[in-house]
Amino acid sequence: MPIKGFSLIGKSRMHLGLAGASLLSLSLITGAAIGQGPGNVQSFRNSAGILRTFSNTGVIDRTGPFFTPLGQAFPITCEHCHFASEAWGISAAHAAQLFNSTGGTHPLFTAPTGSDVLAAQIPANVATLAQKQTMYNLMINKGLALVRRTFNPVTADFIVLGVKPPAGFAVGLSPTMIPAPDGSGMMIDGSWYLSYTASSNGGTPQIWTYRRPIPTTNMRFVTTAAWDGQDTRQFPDPIRRPTTAGIFDIAKATIKGRQTGPSLIAADGHVYSDAEQSALAHQLTDFMFSTTTGQDYDTLAGPLNANGASSGISSITNLNYYYGINDVLEGDLMVVPSPNPPGVQEIYSGSPFTGNVFNVYDGWNGNGNAARASIARGQALFNQTSRMTIDDVNGIQGYNRTIGVVAGGSTGLGLTGTTLTLPDSRVVPGLTGPVPGPQAGCVTCHDGPNVGNHSTRLAINIGVADVVPVTSSNNTNVNFNNSGLPTFYLQNKATGEIVQITDPGRATVSGKWSHIGQFKGPVLHGLVNRSPFFHSGAAKNLDAVIDFYSIRFNANFTAQEHIDLVNFLKSL
Amino acid sequence: MNSIRMLFTTTVLCLIASASQAQITISLTPSTTMPIVPGSSISWSGTLTNTGASDLFINGDQILVNPSDPFTIDDTPLLTPVQLFPLTAGSSYTGLLFTLTAPSFILNKNYTGSLTLLGGTDTFTTNPIGTQNFSFRAVPEPGATGLLVGVALTGAGIMLRRRKK
């Protein structure tokens, strides 16, 4: 009996063990399902409520390279353009505050962020506060940092005829000046400009533009790394060129371009090897992919995941997202391995594009709380697919949009037919869903479900880079203007056509005439924290953004609709 | 590894905070290790005292829990009072600070955490300006324990019946 009993107890133990293991498994599975809750968060108050960042590594390690000066040449760190409190970007108001409170000595105001990286390194050019204000005027006024892009004038479709530069450019020098072709005065000769920029790049010409730093968070939703698609755009295949690779390239280029300069001298005095740069770039990339950020609490509406809503940081962290999800052009697509030839291919899930891009506030429709109801109405407006007249948009339409010149008429989106040639030159089947048509809406370009960027690498020109954008009132509109930006005069080598634009955008990278002024659409989470908006900081606030879209695409939002849309965008 | 990383990070934050001239001391209540059952919450109140000579804006915070199981933390009470924006020099604020909610299933173990206030003398700065640790212990929910015992006894009973047959 004792033996039997022992045996019985032994088996019971085994069953108990199994039962316990089952409970443990259930616990772990359930925990994972609930998981990724904001147990480890950074929270920041802002004008709309509270912004939170969740780190999937548990802690945000401020001893890492993102927060550390990596070179001797310039004391700036990644954080100086990417503050956690501003959704890992920087507001122009913060840039101005940093300049004013430090007399321009903050590391943000070092040569790589100025109007001219060469001129800013000459002490005599930035000796006084007024000179510094001039050199860094675009960062102070619009939160814009210098972006230097290698440009091949031989292979490009166009030549750079001339440039009217921003204040601070080539200060102290005597550039060759020629008359601007539109009779608007003098401009720097394009050959001189390219020769000058080449002197900072080992003899290879560059085009210098000025853009808003892109948030270094929510990277798993990002389909195009830089505004102009540099680093990811060259490779249309998203698997062969994943966003991680693009971010890695940007990180590695930043180590040299913004922190060490060409010398590559580290903060401790040694010269970085390529392997060291790569190791640091990997750390930076991993860090940027480790965080998720979004608005979590609205001052008037309360928690953004309460009372039927499902937004907020926990929801954002758990969002289902993949490259090509709900694409407006192709329908929902997935990327799968391709055995022959080896690589990958895109396949279509069969699900058509849906305009219900955002649904996190469905539960607040008609809510008794006025703020919640307003956010829900704003979401519904954002989702409308028949509110705007999408016209004259280079990148999704069958004709080129150029500045002041529209070749062709409003022929619709040109998306029907058996095949469709995408901006990447990929030829894909025609639409799987309803044709968005000229009558479309916000979600036509912001199709990423509950994210709001574009789920493929669609770069478009909607006119934000125009020298005088549609709502800028000759750049005298204090809430929407491109004042202070350079004007590039570009001439088509084949046709002789000349256009002017403040930033060539994707054309800088590709050299293609048809890509002039094209930019990506960013992830919308944490939007309220990082004014001004658009790549050029043209829109001072979200009101100006809505005004632009209302006029540009003939939406004619009412005053109440305007408020609702702004409240919705603030809640993301 | 997480423990080491958290200890290191907390130490660095404390060092940075102590090096800063602007300081807020934090007194948390409860200050002892609190029990928490799955699905329930613990709220920490406290007193924040600005011991510096300048007004300090509490612009944000970081709350860490180790091990980082899927707890939900609501620090809204800490980031909404107007008295903390700014907390004037020499003054104190007492009130609810944050609430931690445990998931429905959780293992019995001890947890440590830290609350770090982020802010400065303006509305933009987010330097560490005060840190305080806290702790709690996950304990089994009576119902869950009963369920576990029940499953075990049921299993044992089935085994006994099979033996008898």
Compute CA B20 distance to the chain's CA centroid, rounded to the nearest angstrom.
23
- The DSSP annotation for B40-56 comes to -EEEEEEEEEE-SSS-B
Contact between B59 and A8 using a beta-carbon 8 Å cutoff: no
> Mind listing the pLDDT tens digit for each residue in A164-200?
999 999 999 999 999 999 999 999 999 999 999 999 9
Cα atoms in the Cβ-side hemisphere of radius 13 Å centred on A557: 28
> Mind listing the pLDDT tens digit for each residue in A464-517?
999 999 998 889 999 999 999 999 999 999 999 999 999 999 899 889 888 899
| Residue ranges in A73-120 assigned as alpha helix (H) | 92-102
pTM for the predicted model, two decimal places: 0.85
Q: How far apart are CA B89 and CA A138, in angstroms?
A: 36
Distance set, CA B152 to CA A7, A29, A563, B38, B105 (Å): 16, 21, 59, 21, 18
Q: Write the ipTM.
A: 0.82
Which residue reads 């802010």 in tokens? Answer: B119
Give residue B59's identity as a one-letter amino acid code: N
Contact between B66 and A36 using a beta-carbon 8 Å cutoff: no
Mutate to test the interface with A, among B54, B62, B97 (most CBs of A within 10 A): B62
Find the closest chain B residue to A46 by CA distance: B59
Least Cα separation, residue A64 to chain B (angstroms): 11
Q: How far apart are CA A560 and CA B5, in angstroms?
A: 49
Partner-chain residue, chosen from A32, A43, A58, that has the shortest CB–CB distance to B75: A43
> Mind listing the pLDDT tens digit for each residue in A531-570?
999 999 999 999 999 999 999 999 999 999 999 999 999 9
Q: Could you tell me the two tokens for A67?
A: 């927060």
CB proximity B14 to A under 8 Å: no
pLDDT over 60 at B20, yes or no = no
Contacts of A28 (CB under 8 A, 6+ apart): none
pLDDT over 70 at A229, yes or no = yes
Q: So what's the pLDDT on residue A41?
A: 85
Number of H helices, E strands in chain B: 3, 8
Contact between B159 and A41 using a beta-carbon 8 Å cutoff: no
Residue A19's pLDDT band (cuts 50, 70, 90): very low
Contact between A8 and B152 using a beta-carbon 8 Å cutoff: no
Share of chain A above pLDDT 70, in %: 81
Find the closest chain B residue to A529 by CA distance: B124
Q: Could you tell me the two tokens for A164?
A: 């009217």
Q: So what's the pLDDT on residue A465?
A: 95
Contact between B126 and A38 using a beta-carbon 8 Å cutoff: no
pLDDT over 80 at B47, yes or no = yes
CB proximity B104 to A under 8 Å: yes
Q: So what's the pLDDT on residue A293?
A: 97
Contact between B79 and A43 using a beta-carbon 8 Å cutoff: yes
Burial (CB count within 10 angstroms: exposed 0-12, middle 13-18, buried 19+), residue A66: buried
CB proximity B131 to A under 8 Å: no
pLDDT over 80 at A37, yes or no = no
Mutate to test the interface with A, among B5, B76, B84, B129 (most CBs of A within 10 A): B76
Q: How far apart are CA B91 and CA B6, in angstroms?
A: 31
Closest by CA position to A126, among listed A138, A114, A140: A114
Contact between B60 and A45 using a beta-carbon 8 Å cutoff: yes
Least Cα separation, residue B22 to chain A (angstroms): 17
Cα atoms in the Cβ-side hemisphere of radius 13 Å centred on A409: 1
Size of interface A-B (CB pairs under 8 A): 131
Least Cα separation, residue A422 to chain B (angstroms): 42
Q: So what's the pLDDT on residue A5?
A: 28
